[in-house]
Amino acid sequence: MILVLVTIICGIGEAAQVEYFNVMDYGAKGDVITDDSVAFLKAWNDTCNSETDEPTMVIPRRQFFLRPTTFRGPCKSKVHFAFLGVLFAPSGPKEWKELNDTVKFIEFEYVNGLYIHGVGLINGRGKGWWDISCRYHPDLKALRFHKSNDIHMSQIRIIDSPQTHILLLGCNDVEFEGLFIKSPDGSPNTDGIHIQATNNVFINSSFIGSGDDCVSIGDGISNVNITYVTCGPGHGISIGSLGGSGNVVNVSNIHVRHAIFNGTQNGARIKTYQTGRGEVRDVEFSDIKFIDAGNPIIIDQYYCGNPNGCPPTNVGVQISNVSYTDMYGTSKADVAVNFNCSGNVACTDIKLENINLTSSTIGKQVTSSCNNAYGEAKGTIEPKSCLNSKT
């Protein structure tokens, strides 16, 4: 084991001690064949227990094979993860089953203060999972953050996750910047980033292309800012689906700005089950470009994973104060603006301003459709608004 301790002078009377823990010094081979999980955990243990200012675990520019691995805190300091190499997941369903962990590949749990940076790549090797029905395997994540706070990750690449690429579950104060996430169009349930029971999330300047939602926002969420994200392929940026188990949902203060949807199945989407209750409020979609996108603007409160399997109810999720501003481009759907709101609980205070959507097919016209949706429109609106101004 070789430790490098560096003292950085930050100013008069100030010094930061940076201690480096390189996985190669703990026995990692970096040959893609050898299981380097134990070496990674040993390096993490020393990093997490270091009392220096900036303990840093180093993954050099080598290719590593890992079993499902959890880096668990709490740690004695805020820790850094200098991620420069490539991490390969187990190759397929049979190997995952033998490892007896079918929840995640890489997980950070109970870590408060985490900085992941570099040009590293996580390869989830998901094709073996995509080739079998989703019903026969659980929801595997390439990278999972669980009950961790003050997370910062930049310039990391994640490809071909078996299912969700990044999961945030029970976290607070998260910042992602410059991420590259990619899996093929049609790969099942490969959400780019899924957020659940998490607050204060900032996703900036990233590319996400997947077989499912580029970003999906679940229940128990507040204060999410998504800016300068290019989405495609994928199912769009979605709030939901919500309320599938009949629970009371609570989602608020969601802002999606300066985004591009390129060839996506949906664009700016809110989707709830008929069984849901609670509220979605204070949502903003602004400065959005659509390129041959399906359903560019959509609220679907009759979402159902099983056709004809969701009977009518007398409840619904209250959707209110949702604004769509400065959105333009081409729609491959005939209905470019679709507010299909609950017959039990109307969508209220919907705002449209400067919307200019045209058909991807030359000569065709796009339309709007509204069901129990109330609000106002101003500026240039194309297609013409169908919102009802009176509740």
Query: What pLDDT is recorded for position 153?
Result: 98
235 is catalytic: yes
Residue 233: cis peptide before it, omega within 30 degrees of 0:
yes
Judge contact between 141 and 158, C-beta under 8 A.
no
Q: Which residue among 36, 212, 213, 300 is the active-site one?
A: 212
Ranges of residues in the chain whose predicted pLDDT is under 50:
1-2, 7-13
The CA–CA distances, whole Å, from 207 to 108, 159, 160, 355 equal: 23, 12, 14, 24
Q: What tokens does 54 get?
A: 């900036």
Query: What pLDDT is recorded for position 1?
Result: 46
d(CA 22, CA 45): 12
Query: What pLDDT is recorded for position 137?
Result: 59
The CA–CA distances, whole Å, from 376 to 167, 186, 271, 284, 325 equal: 36, 36, 21, 15, 12
Query: What pLDDT is recorded for position 8?
Result: 45
Q: Which residue among 80, 165, 194, 235 is the active-site one?
A: 235
d(CA 133, CA 109): 29
User: Which residue do the tokens 């991620």 mark?
Assistant: 83
212 is catalytic: yes
Note the pTM of the prediction, 2 decimals.
Answer: 0.94
**pLDDT tens per residue, range 86-142:** 999 998 777 776 666 567 899 999 999 999 999 999 999 999 888 886 555 557 889
The CATH classification number of 68-382 equals 2.160.20.10
Query: What pLDDT is recorded for position 167?
Result: 97
d(CA 64, CA 123): 10
